[in-house]
A and B are shown apart, each in its own frame.
Chain A
Amino acid sequence: MTILIAVLVLGTISLLFGALLGYASVRFKVEGDPLAEQIDDLLPQTQCGQCGYPGCKPYAEAVANGEAINKCAPGGEDTIKKMADLLGVEVQPLDGNHEVDNTPKVAFIIEEDCIGCTKCIQACPVDAIIGTTKQMHTVIVDECTGCDLCVAPCPVDCIEMKPIETTKQSWQWDINSISVKQID
Chain B
Amino acid sequence: MSEYLILLVGTVLVNNFVLVNFLGLCPFMGVSSRTETAIGMAYATTFVMTLASLLSYIVNTYILSPLGLEYLTTMAFILVIAVVVQFTEMVVHKTSANLYRLLGIFLPLITTNCAVLGVAIINMNENHNFFESIIYGFGASVGFSLVLIMFSAMREKLANADVPSPFKGSAIAMITAGLMSLAFMGFTGLVKF
Q: Which residues of the other chain, B, contact A5 by a CB distance below 8 angstroms?
A: 67, 69
Partner of B98 from A10, A24, A88 at Cβ < 8 Å:
A88
- Smallest distance from the beta carbon of A30 to chain B beta carbons, Å? 5
Q: A34-B97, A88-B36 are in contact. Are A17 and B69 (CB under 8 A)?
A: no
B interface footprint on A81-111 (CB within 8 Å = 1, 0 otherwise): 0000011100000000000000000000000
Determine if B93 is an interface residue (Cβ-Cβ < 8 Å): yes
Determine if A184 is an interface residue (Cβ-Cβ < 8 Å): no
Determine if B37 is an interface residue (Cβ-Cβ < 8 Å): yes
In the complex the two chains form, is A24's CB within 8 Å of B90's CB? yes
- What number of A residues sit within 8 Å (CB to CB) of B? 23
In the complex the two chains form, is B76's CB within 8 Å of A10's CB? yes
Q: Which residues of the other chain, B, contact A2 by a CB distance below 8 angstroms?
A: 68
Partner of A10 from B75, B86, B94, B102 at Cβ < 8 Å:
B75
- Smallest distance from the beta carbon of B98 to chain A beta carbons, Å? 6
A interface footprint on B139-182 (CB within 8 Å = 1, 0 otherwise): 00000000000000000000000000000000000000000000
In the complex the two chains form, is A88's CB within 8 Å of B93's CB? no
Interface residues of B in 17-33 (CB under 8 A from A): none
Partner of A86 from B67, B76, B98 at Cβ < 8 Å:
B98
In the complex the two chains form, is B101's CB within 8 Å of A64's CB? yes
In the complex the two chains form, is B36's CB within 8 Å of A21's CB? no
Q: Which residue of A lies closest to B92 (CB)?
A: A28
Q: How far, in whole Å, are A38 and B80 apart by their CA atoms in the complex?
A: 34
Determine if B79 is an interface residue (Cβ-Cβ < 8 Å): yes
Q: How far, in whole Å, are A131 and B171 apart by their CA atoms in the complex?
A: 66
Determine if B87 is an interface residue (Cβ-Cβ < 8 Å): yes
In the complex the two chains form, is B76's CB within 8 Å of A21's CB? no
- Smallest distance from the beta carbon of A27 to chain B beta carbons, Å? 8
Determine if A6 is an interface residue (Cβ-Cβ < 8 Å): yes
Determine if B59 is an interface residue (Cβ-Cβ < 8 Å): yes
Q: Which residue of A lies closest to B100 (CB)?
A: A35
Partner of B94 from A6, A28, A35 at Cβ < 8 Å:
A28
Q: A6-B72, A9-B72, A88-B36 are in contact. Are A17 and B83 (CB under 8 A)?
A: yes
Determine if A25 is an interface residue (Cβ-Cβ < 8 Å): yes
Q: How far, in whole Å, are A10 and B69 apart by their CA atoms in the complex?
A: 10
Q: Which residues of the other chain, B, contact A35 by a CB distance below 8 angstroms?
A: 97-98, 100-101
Q: Which residue of A lies closest to B93 (CB)?
A: A30
Partner of A13 from B63, B93, B101 at Cβ < 8 Å:
B63
B interface footprint on A1-32 (CB within 8 Å = 1, 0 otherwise): 01001100110011001001100110011100
Beyond contacts A17-B83, A21-B86, A28-B93: 11 other A-B pairs, Cβ-Cβ < 8 A, are: A2-B68, A5-B67, A9-B63, A9-B69, A9-B72, A10-B79, A13-B63, A24-B86, A25-B90, A88-B36, A88-B37
Q: List 21 A-B contacts (CB under 8 A).
A: A6-B69, A9-B63, A10-B72, A10-B79, A13-B59, A14-B79, A17-B79, A21-B87, A24-B86, A24-B90, A24-B91, A25-B90, A28-B90, A28-B94, A29-B94, A30-B93, A30-B97, A34-B97, A38-B98, A64-B101, A88-B37
